[in-house]
Chain A
Amino acid sequence: MYLKSLNEKIRCMLLLICLILLLQTFLMNQAVGAEISPDRVRKSLVRILCTTQSPDYQTPWNPGRIGRGVGSGFIISDSRIMTNAHVVSNAKFIHVDKDGDSKKYAAEVLFIAHDCDLAILTVKNHGFFNGTEVLSTGGIPEMHSNVTAFGYPIGGDRMSVTRGVVSRIEFRIYSHSGLDSHLTIQIDAAINPGNSGGPVIQNGRVIGVAFQGYSGAVAQNTGYMIPVPVMNRFLKDIEDGKYDGYVELGIHYLNLQNPSYREKLNFKSETGNGVVITEVVKAASAGGKLKIGDVLLKIDGHSISSDGHIVLDGEYVQLEEVVERKFHGDRVTFSLLRDGKLISVVVELKGAWPYSILANKYNVRPEFIMFAGYLFQPLDRNFLNAYKSKDLDLNYHYSHFVKNELYLERPQIVVLSSIMPDPVNSYGSEFVNSIIDEINGIKIKSLRDVAEVFGKKSEFYVVKFLNSGKPLIIEERLVDAAQTRIKNQYNVFEDSYINHSN
């Protein structure tokens, strides 16, 4: 779902501050109402205390910085706790407690979905669930209807209750991954770091999970929650015991609103339907099935308007919503015009791996190779965030990785990211931030290729870079001694880490 408006998303990303713990500050007496007694929610609400360890991509061999966070969660069916993925990302140790129970219980992550910022925890000690209550879920609330948020925000230790109204319902970027957009509900209460993962309740039912907001300097009274359709999709996805994630259709299209274009296609009516495909991401579901120039008329039987919308359950939504609700292996059927003929095309849905470099990654070790003091790393969002590089080549290859299908040529873009100075690399600094093209004549398509070439004996290693005529030369006879020296000197205890499951 992140094809249509990458620019818009990048803009949003600058503004949106992912509040690890958020809250709406409202008066206690306002929030209670006739809807639900706070005591019932108290029996479901959980405080999550999480110790994290986040790797540093500039020293990727280190285990990383240890941090602590507090978030909220709530008990759902089958002795499970639902919370946000960002509350328990990079977790090394999690424990949970409840209001009115002094004991702390160790918890573990059962499922984590970084693309929709949700996670499921469980507690081994079943005593934890004694006397707790499971909250049932509702639907999508009406605009301007009252909602109540519960959680454990800053400002005190005990449960807090706040209230607001539904301000807006639309697709938005989920800042945890920084890439995925899903349905989001905006509520109007001021947000403080406090209660990510806590339930938002209406008429006694959970209608959302509070998860992100703007910092006060940017906008006020804007808090966001993950609505029930996204929660339900997550719960359904994990029914088979694993989380597969969202599927990607992988198309760009042009709204067919131009009269000449319509006329050219022999579409007589000016207000008729249809959009034309302008880009098909080869690695995504549509790759090989849909073609550039196809005119999409219907998706699963729903007529597509000339601005790419359909009517689904009485709502006027973007055609992508059909795909949004489906799972890996599901199918979607298009009626389309190809070369003037009306045909039907069935697309089996799957994820699209090239997008993964554009999303924030969690719970993974950074990959690297350190060779003669030169650090080689794959280009991805975590890498760019760590180095904050403004290098044109790096930024171009990152932002055009999917758009210009650079991944077809190089599934992994490997960068010489930094140097640990040593006599062996005294003259190498000019190559920092360059993208590796080939080494000893072998085209580098992933970090594994780099490891393979450096693993073979050769008098010289000739490292060629993209858009540069000068290679880096490393003499093999100097490497072994240098490698030992550098590892000691710089406390690098591994030559490399490569994730072979990638």
Chain B
Amino acid sequence: MLLSNYINQPKFFQVFLIFSMMLPVIQAENVDKLKQSMVRVSVTSQSYSFVRPWEKKRPESKRGIGVIIEKNLILVTAALVENATYLELEKLETGEKSPAKIIAVDYSANLGLIAPVRDDFLCSNCKPIPITKKKSKIGDTFSVWQFEENGTPIVGNATLKSVHVESYPYNRGSLLVFEIKVLLSRAGGSYTLPVLCKGKLAGLMMRHNQGNETMTLVPSPIIIHFITDYNDGNYNGFPRAGFGVLNLEDPQTRRYLGADHHDSGVYVEKVQPGSAAFEADLKVGDVLLAIGDYTIDKFGQYKDPDFGKLLLSHLVTACSYVGDFLNFRILRDKKEIDLKLKLKPFNSEEYAIPPFKVDKKPKYTIVSGLVFQELSREYLREWGANWFTSAPQEFVYFDINQWELIPLGQKFVFLSQVLPSEGNIGYHNLRFLRVTEINDMPINRIEEIDDAIAKNSTPYIKVEFESSPRVIYLDAKRLENENEKIQERYGISSLTQF
């Protein structure tokens, strides 16, 4: 990159050379200023237990460096503040501390805004750092900012290696990332680190692989989208079209679909029921040729004016806002058709089995010692890193194929365990059973369990499962008595949490 610049644009090279020689000088001048625009964020977080949903797990501490981007508004990653119970800011210069509060958080974009509880905590010379609007190019020089305990900055120089679309920790879809090359030994527990480019914010650290010296950033375009959306007073988040594509390289398949006359187009493989794509009538088997003015290639990429080839999801997520319309040109039955998508927000709760659940109490209800829950990815993750193969396989199968297996608007309600007591003798070993009906009322959401029990007028509570044992009965007359006993015996604060 540098070499070609040198050959073709000697002038540019000169500019670059001067800049790079000046860099230490500029830094020395600006370090103190920039330091005042950053603040250490210490977070105590406590996640919910999905195995014992009435409990919270052990508190954990996380730290990171937040960036002041507007008056009294500090940008951090969502990963830093997830399930936070206490937030504290610390000035890097003086070590002065103040509690903080969360203003906004978008887990799917892994970004959050926090503010000091005291309005006067951040002084007037804490100038916000602007977010770079520059089109970052491969080879651009970035700096990663860390601070020692005493506030001494440790700045790691980095180079932009790649701009692409990749999965985010809390998102089943993908968003734009910057990948940088950086030699940096990361101070323990730092979840958010600012990455600057010429004094402006280029991104926040999301992942860091010290072994191959690679850091993945939530990049400036995603941050700008987040802030713009926040500033309009009504945060909708990143839109989601709700479809999946697969490569369409195979000439035999292209001939079969009649797509052999195009050298573009990608195969629509999945459409999420209820999504924007679904409502616009996009169908499995369609060949997506173009979105707006952009041609979609065989790999599902388009040519972005800023970053070159990118996966089409960037067009939907970061280049558009909720409520925007996108024109899709598709090939169906060998005919070209235009579809209009009205973009909807991503909402984890719209999933039958939500892909993530943070800051929210897991729902459960305990009936005579039978613990009922709604299935979520978070529950499956309780099986550890290998949850995909070690969690109950039927549940994993339902999670992966939920669009096909669970009707829109329904949840997967199941019996997770039985807390043994006198009233549930004979049922102690029951677990991982999907509930279908209680007292002949269908159960598609956990809230319906309490309704079904409240409306019961028979002496029994009849619980039906999808598989063996199919039906069990509980004593309705002694239910309250049993519930009280179980609550006391197992020390459960509440028998129900919706």
Binding site for B on A (CB under 8 A): 252, 254-261, 263-264, 276, 278-279, 292-293, 390, 392-393, 395-396, 399-400, 403-404, 426-428, 430, 460, 462, 467-475, 478
Beta-carbon contact of B393 and A258 below 8 Å: no
Extra inter-chain contacts (9) besides given A263-B475, A279-B470, A473-B252, CB under 8 Å: A252-B468, A258-B425, A258-B473, A278-B471, A395-B393, A404-B467, A426-B250, A469-B269, A469-B284
Query: B481 an interface residue at 8 Å Cβ cutoff?
Result: no
| Chain B residues, Cβ within 8 Å of A392 | 388, 393, 396-397, 400
Which 5 A/B pairs are nearest by Cβ-Cβ distance? A257-B426, A427-B250, A258-B426, A469-B284, A278-B468
For the complex, what is the distance from the CA of A472 to the CA of B268, rounded to whole Å? 14
Beta-carbon contact of A258 and B252 below 8 Å: no
Beta-carbon contact of B270 and A469 below 8 Å: yes
| Chain A residues, Cβ within 8 Å of B270 | 469
Beta-carbon contact of B473 and A264 below 8 Å: yes
Closest Cβ of chain B to A319, distance in Å, is: 16
- Partner among B255, B396, B423 whose Cβ is within 8 Å of the Cβ of A260: B423
Beta-carbon contact of B426 and A399 below 8 Å: no
| Chain A residues, Cβ within 8 Å of B284 | 469
- Partner among B244, B247, B252, B268 whose Cβ is within 8 Å of the Cβ of A474: B252
Given A392-B388, A392-B400, A478-B252, A260 and B473 contact (CB-CB distance below 8 Å) = yes
| Chain B residues, Cβ within 8 Å of A278 | 468-471
Within 8 A of A (CB), among B439-498: 460, 467-475
For the complex, what is the distance from the CA of A462 to the CA of B423, rounded to whole Å? 56
Beta-carbon contact of A467 and B269 below 8 Å: no
| Chain B residues, Cβ within 8 Å of A475 | 252, 255-256
| Chain B residues, Cβ within 8 Å of A473 | 250, 252-253, 255-256
Beta-carbon contact of A254 and B472 below 8 Å: yes
For the complex, what is the distance from the CA of A278 to the CA of B475, rounded to whole Å? 20
- B379-417 vs A, CB cutoff 8 Å, 1 = contact: the mask equals 000000000110001101100110010000000000000
Query: B249 an interface residue at 8 Å Cβ cutoff?
Result: yes
Q: List 22 A-B contacts (CB under 8 A).
A: A252-B468, A254-B426, A254-B472, A257-B425, A259-B425, A260-B473, A263-B475, A276-B469, A292-B470, A293-B470, A392-B400, A403-B467, A404-B467, A427-B250, A427-B252, A430-B246, A460-B255, A467-B401, A469-B244, A469-B269, A469-B270, A473-B250
For the complex, what is the distance from the CA of A292 to the CA of B465, rounded to whole Å? 12
Closest Cβ of chain B to A463, distance in Å, is: 11
Given A390-B389, A392-B396, A427-B253, A469 and B474 contact (CB-CB distance below 8 Å) = no
Beta-carbon contact of B249 and A427 below 8 Å: yes
Query: B427 an interface residue at 8 Å Cβ cutoff?
Result: yes
Query: B285 an interface residue at 8 Å Cβ cutoff?
Result: yes
For the complex, what is the distance from the CA of A475 to the CA of B253, rounded to whole Å? 9
For the complex, what is the distance from the CA of A258 to the CA of B425, rounded to whole Å? 5
Given A469-B285, A470-B246, A293 and B471 contact (CB-CB distance below 8 Å) = yes
| Chain B residues, Cβ within 8 Å of A252 | 468-469
Beta-carbon contact of B256 and A462 below 8 Å: yes
For the complex, what is the distance from the CA of A252 to the CA of B270, rounded to whole Å? 37
Query: B267 an interface residue at 8 Å Cβ cutoff?
Result: yes
- Name the CB-closest residue of A to B427: A258
Closest Cβ of chain B to A407, distance in Å, is: 16
For the complex, what is the distance from the CA of A430 to the CA of B474, rounded to whole Å? 49
Closest Cβ of chain A to B1, distance in Å, is: 33
Beta-carbon contact of A468 and B460 below 8 Å: no
Beta-carbon contact of B404 and A258 below 8 Å: no
Closest Cβ of chain B to A418, distance in Å, is: 18
For the complex, what is the distance from the CA of A264 to the CA of B425, rounded to whole Å? 15
Query: B236 an interface residue at 8 Å Cβ cutoff?
Result: no
Closest Cβ of chain A to B298, distance in Å, is: 10
Query: B424 an interface residue at 8 Å Cβ cutoff?
Result: yes
- Partner among B252, B393, B469 whose Cβ is within 8 Å of the Cβ of A399: B393
| Chain A residues, Cβ within 8 Å of B468 | 252, 254, 278-279
| Chain B residues, Cβ within 8 Å of A259 | 423, 425, 475
Closest Cβ of chain A to B478, distance in Å, is: 8
Closest Cβ of chain B to A339, distance in Å, is: 14
Beta-carbon contact of A260 and B475 below 8 Å: yes
| Chain A residues, Cβ within 8 Å of B397 | 392-393, 396
Closest Cβ of chain B to A354, distance in Å, is: 16
For the complex, what is the distance from the CA of A279 to the CA of B388, rounded to whole Å? 28
Beta-carbon contact of A470 and B474 below 8 Å: no
- Name the CB-closest residue of A to B243: A469
| Chain A residues, Cβ within 8 Å of B400 | 392, 467
For the complex, what is the distance from the CA of A265 to the CA of B249, rounded to whole Å? 63
| Chain A residues, Cβ within 8 Å of B246 | 430, 469-470
For the complex, what is the distance from the CA of A255 to the CA of B429, rounded to whole Å? 11
Within 8 A of A (CB), among B283-323: 284-285
- Name the CB-closest residue of B to A293: B471
